[in-house]
Structure 1
Amino acid sequence: MTHYFSDEAYVFWDDVLEAVVIRWHAMAEMDRLSAVMTRAIELAKAKRARKVLVDTRHLAGLSPQDARWMTEEWSARLAEAGIRYAAAALPDFANPLMTKSEHRNAATAEQTELLHPFPELNQAIAWLSGIPA
């Protein structure tokens, strides 16, 4: 079932992966990008999800500003919502998102990698499948 659908993306819950999935099919301006990400966080909270899959294979690329927002602000918001594992299928290893983002656990002050980039969707799915919900 689709939780959110727009001209740029759709957000849904995958029962097999037990993960929130964001499938992008067009570039979005910052306000629309934020709306999609907010809906993903809402779904993550509702499902008490620990995993998210982001499919960006159909995007030409993100602006450096949007990429920074994705890796910094959005990753922190995901972590606050309970997400511990995020896999992203990215079409281009030169994409600024290819650096693994980190979030700091305030309680333990330890850093953990949140966003794990993969060149192909099947690799991202295989990695998430190996993580218990």
Structure 2
Amino acid sequence: MVYYNSDQGQVSWNEELQAVKVEWKGFADGEELQRIMLKAIELLATRKSGKLLMDSSKASVVKAEDRAWIAQEFVTKAYDAGLRFMAMTIPEKTVAKLSLGRIVSNFDDLPYKAKNFSEITEATEWLSVSSL
């Protein structure tokens, strides 16, 4: 079920995984990046799911101010909405990998478990065995 869709990303519900899925389609920044992430939080809360599958394979560079928003706002709001497990695929583009690397370098400090994967199948498998 698609919950939100734009040219930059899509938020949907994966019934089989009982997880929210965010699929990035390319470059997103500022208000649109936040909108997509906030829609994911809304769906986490609505579905009472603690799992988020973040497909970043097609993602692009994340600006410094957006990285700051993710660290300062998204992490807390997502946890408060029930997020306990997040599986994320690594972007295909080298520059995007480096940008995302700056965000995920703080994964040890997160209030929920988060893990990076090179393939969506690996991320899906990890989420499927992660229990709340």
Shorter-chain-normalised TM-score: which range? 0.7 to 0.9
Q: Does 1:12 align with 2:39?
A: no
Compute the displacement of 1:126 (Å).
Answer: 1.4
SS of alignment partner, residue 132 of structure 1: coil
In the TM superposition, what are the counterparts of 1:50-89 in structure 2 within 5 Å? 50-89=50-89
Name the aligned partner's letter for residue 88 of structure 2. Answer: A
Alpha-carbon separation, structure 2, partners of 1:43 and 1:79:
13
- Whose strand fraction is larger, Structure 1's or Structure 2's? 1
Q: Per-residue CA shift, 1:65-85, capped at 9, x if unaligned?
A: 322322342111110001111
Alpha-carbon separation, structure 2, partners of 1:101 and 1:6:
31
Alpha-carbon separation, structure 2, partners of 1:63 and 1:115:
21
Q: For 1:97, which of 97, 103, 107 is the aligned residue?
A: 103
Aligned residues: 125
Gapped runs of 5+ residues in structure 2? none
Hey, what does 1:43 align to over in structure 2? 43
Compute the displacement of 1:113 (Å).
Answer: 4.2
Alignment RMSD (CA, Å): 1.8
Q: Per-residue CA shift, 1:86-124, capped at 9, x if unaligned?
A: 111112553212321534xxxxxxxx4433222222221
Q: Does 1:129 align with 2:128?
A: yes
Alpha-carbon separation, structure 1, partners of 2:114 and 2:108:
5
Identity %: 27
Gapped runs of 5+ residues in structure 1? 104-111
On the 8 A contact 2:20/2:44 being kept in 1, the answer is yes
When normalised by structure 2's length, the TM-score is 0.84
When normalised by structure 1's length, the TM-score is 0.83
Distance 1:81 1:87, change over 3 A: same
- Whose helix fraction is larger, Structure 1's or Structure 2's? 2
On the 8 A contact 1:23/1:54 being kept in 2, the answer is yes
Distance 1:101 1:30, change over 3 A: farther
Name the aligned partner's letter for residue 2 of structure 2. Answer: T
Compute the displacement of 1:16 (Å).
Answer: 1.0
Alpha-carbon separation, structure 2, partners of 1:113 and 1:4:
24
Alpha-carbon separation, structure 2, partners of 1:68 and 1:47:
27
Moved over 6 A (4+): none
